[in-house]
Structure 1
Amino acid sequence: MQTGLYAFAVAAAFLGAAIYIGFVEHPARLKLGAPAMVREWAMSDHRGTILLTTLSLVSAALALVQYRIGGDVRWIIGGLTILTSWPYEYYVLVPVSIWLWAIPPEKGSAPARKLMRDWGLLAWGYTLIGLATCGAFAWALKQLP
């Protein structure tokens, strides 16, 4: 039971970070001028990626431990769900990020702003992954004694 609660708590932290990015950090970033917006994004993107990938790995590992303890396959479902953030990052967000990295900060605010809006929309995928994971873990926790 305890390990499952920890897996849920870490998944909830993942969800909270994803919601923060979508509701607070990214809208504030869009208020900046293009050079400052790209510079701020570059710094926070690296840190945010490390944070979210670490949280997803820890949550999935704890879910695996809980599965080994109790044998409930819902923990595997939740663990695999949160791990989908890795291929989501690589195949969906990284292509947009590469284009953002390629834009010199002092050049073209229109392309940078459009790419930044696209990146922000795609980043909501993390929130959906976090919601699905927390839902799976809550479903599994409900059945625990």
Structure 2
Amino acid sequence: MLGLGALVLAAIFFGAAIYINIAEHPARLKLGDGAALAQWEPAYKRGYAMQASLAIASGLLGLAAWWTSGQWLWGAGAAVMMANWPYTLVVIMPVNHQLEATAPADASAETRALLIRWGWLHAGRSALGGIAMIIFLDVISMRM
């Protein structure tokens, strides 16, 4: 059950992350520079809270599944899922801080370039979620 919970939460995380890359962020980039930045800020804050919680919960359930089963793949999936935290803090946060320091009225082509970069960096989070989900799915399928 712990592993199934880890898989479900990883799948929700991946679905939310890939939605941002495929639908939300491209739509945001259709707006003008100031409007795109104004939309990014609250969307990011809400998305961060949701995805951070999902990454931690999925990772903890994966660790618990590893602890109780001894199957190392649960731990590997948990590590990949939890890698979203340092990846976000080290790689994405510097871009976030630059975007947050810009008022929408002051947005420019440089702001747009940062938003585009942010989208590519966020794709890394999507990839980590997808990889963790596949690992969890793999270990579950081995048990069947």
Which TM-score band (shorter chain)?
over 0.9
Shift of 1:84: 0.4
- State the match for 2:36 in structure 1: 37
- State the match for 2:88 in structure 1: 89
Identity over the aligned pairs, expressed in percent? 35
- State the match for 2:76 in structure 1: 77
Shift of 1:33: 1.4
**Farther-moved stretch of structure 1 (21-30 vs 130-139):** 130-139
* 94 and 80 in structure 1: CA distance in 2 versus 1, 3 angstrom threshold: same
- State the match for 2:98 in structure 1: 99
Q: TM-score, normalised by structure 2?
A: 0.95
In structure 1, the gaps of 5 or more residues are: none
Alignment partner of 2:59: what SS? Answer: helix
Cα displacement string for residues 12-68 of structure 1 (whole angstroms, at most 9, x for unaligned residues)? 001001110000110111111111111111101111111111001110111122112
Tell me how far apart the structure 1 counterparts of residues 96 and 68 of structure 2 sit (CA, whole Å): 40
Q: Which amino acid aligns with 2:103?
A: P
**Farther-moved stretch of structure 1 (97-106 vs 79-88):** 97-106
Tell me how far apart the structure 2 counterparts of residues 133 and 142 of structure 1 sit (CA, whole Å): 14
Q: Which amino acid aligns with 1:124?
A: A
Aligned length: 144
Tell me how far apart the structure 2 counterparts of residues 130 and 93 of structure 1 sit (CA, whole Å): 15
Deviant stretches of 4+, over 6 Å:
none
- State the match for 1:113 in structure 2: 112
Q: Which amino acid aligns with 2:130?
A: L
Shift of 1:126: 1.1
Cα displacement string for residues 71-126 of structure 1 (whole angstroms, at most 9, x for unaligned residues)? 11110100011000001101111111111112221124211111110101111001
In structure 2, the gaps of 5 or more residues are: none
Tell me how far apart the structure 1 counterparts of residues 5 and 138 of structure 2 sit (CA, whole Å): 15
- State the match for 2:54 in structure 1: 55
C-alpha root-mean-square deviation of aligned residues, in Å?
A: 1.1
Q: TM-score, normalised by structure 1?
A: 0.94
